Each structure stands twice: as C-alpha cells, then as structure tokens.
Amino acid sequence: MGYKDYALIEAAADNDEERVLKLLEEEADPNTIGDFGWTALHEACAHGSINPRIIRALLDAEADPNLHTTEGFSCLQLAVQRPDTDIVEMLLDAGADPNHLNGGRANVLYYAAHTGPKMVKTLLDKGADASRLNKDGDSVLHVLVKEGDESKIYNLVVAGADVNVKNAAGESAIDMAKRLAEKDKMYNGSTGISRGLLDRGEKKPHFKPPKRGFF
C-alpha cells in the first residue's frame, strides 16, 4: 500500500470526483484500509453530498462494499442515512449485505428507519430481514420499541415490517409495545410508547405519522 492508495481515501472524503477517477486510473487500491478502518467507499458513502459517479467508479474498481469500519459500520449502513435510494440500490446490486449487524446489535434497517419509509422499503424489497434477531435476541422493531422512538417505528411499520415478529424470549414487538405502554402508564401516567405501532398491530384504519413523538 502506497501513497496513491491513501490519497484515494482522502479524495473520496473530499468528494473530489476528478481526483478519485485519476487515482483509480493509476491503479490505486480502493480497498485500502485507512484510519478507524475506513476505506474510500466508506468515505464516499458517508459524505453529506454523495456523488453517485464516485460510488460507481469505486465499485467498478472492485471496492468491497462489505468491509466495515473498526466501529462496525458497513458502507450500506452509512449510505442509508442519506435519502438517496439509488446509491443504496447500487451498493446492494454490488453485493452489499442488507442484514449486516453493527457490533451484533444494530442492523441496516435500524439506520434506514431514521431516513424514512422509502429507504426502509427499498431494503426490504432487496432482502433486508426485519425479523432477524441481534446478539441481544431482539429484532429491529423490538430495539426501537425499547427506545420509544416514534418516528423510526412509524417508518419501519408503514414500509411493511411485521409488528408480530417475536424476539428470542418469544415476545412479539406489538406485545412488547403494549407491555411497556402499560408499565409506563402505571408509573408516569402516560404510555410513552409508540401509538403508531399499537394502532398498526390492532389494525385500526388510520395510521398517521407522529407529530410530537410520544404522548
């Protein structure tokens, strides 16, 4: 690994398309590992203004989309935090794993849920498994129910995630939501849990995005 290889990482981090293309023409290695385990593809996927031409060029040069940083982030987990589903589909078509678990706990859907239902649906359509359990024995919905994250739960559920998925303890996400809602109501006088998930599980006709989070 030489200067050009590390220069490629810097060019991708700077979103410098011209330099990235030049370095790739000079056979810089797109799979060089930089600081904290980041490759050029990680840098490109994490940029605030993702450049699809840079992503495409790196993938065409055989950049591995499944390398992960020292913190466990895959390129896909970084890309789904931006609204561009075309980039995500590009990575998935190149073999990116839609079910990678960051540190065994947070999967790609967890991060996509922050972006919106369109991103979640893109992943589900491409093989992401919302029922897959993490090292703690919970699905992504169980994790979000525990966190009480109203908007992320909404994005997952409207995209098609199954509220009846069970964790390792045999408790479904909807049952966990009900249990925690009752517990919170008992101690705090309010549910503090996702009305959206409860409504969806009980098949009520109107399921709207949250306006103020908890209630």
DSSP for 146-169? HHT-HHHHHHHHHTT--TT-B-TT
Q: Classify residue 107: in a domain, yes or no.
A: no
Residue 213 resides in a domain = no
Q: Which domain range does residue 24 map to?
A: 1-97
The DSSP secondary-structure symbol of 172 reads B
The answer as to whether 108 is a domain residue is no
Q: Is the pLDDT of residue 40 over 60?
A: yes
> Which is more confident, 86 or 103?
86
- Average pLDDT on 129-155 reads 92
Predicted local distance difference test score (pLDDT) of residue 129: 96
What is the structure's pLDDT at 96? 98
Q: Would the pLDDT of 52 be above 60?
A: yes
User: Per the structure, how many domains does the chain have?
Assistant: 2
From 47, 64, 97, the end of a domain falls on 97
Instruction: Identify whether 70 is part of a domain.
Output: yes
Higher-confidence position of 67 and 209: 67
Q: Identify the domain boundary among 97, 127, 155.
A: 97
- Give the least confident one: 8-12, 54-58, 101-105, 139-143: 101-105
Q: How far apart are CA 7 and CA 171, in angstroms?
A: 50
Torsion of CA 152, 53, 66, 91, to 10 degrees: 50
User: Are 79 and 125 found together in one domain?
Assistant: no
Q: Are residues 13 and 65 in the same domain?
A: yes
Same domain, 79 and 166: no
Residue that terminates a domain, selected from 97, 128, 153: 97
Q: Is residue 169 part of a domain?
A: yes
Confidence of residue 174 (pLDDT cuts 50, 70, 90): confident
Q: Write the CA distances from 194 to 66, 70, 120, 197, integer angstroms.
A: 33, 33, 18, 5
Chain segment 113-123, per-residue pLDDT in tens:
999 999 999 99
Q: Residues 92, 173: one domain?
A: no
Shared domain for 162 and 198, answered yes or no, is yes
Which CATH number goes with the domain that contains 187? 1.25.40.20
User: Helix crossing, 150-158 with 117-125: angle to 10°?
Assistant: 40
Burial of 212 (0-12, 13-18, 19+ CB in 10 A): exposed
Q: Are residues 84 and 124 in the same domain?
A: no
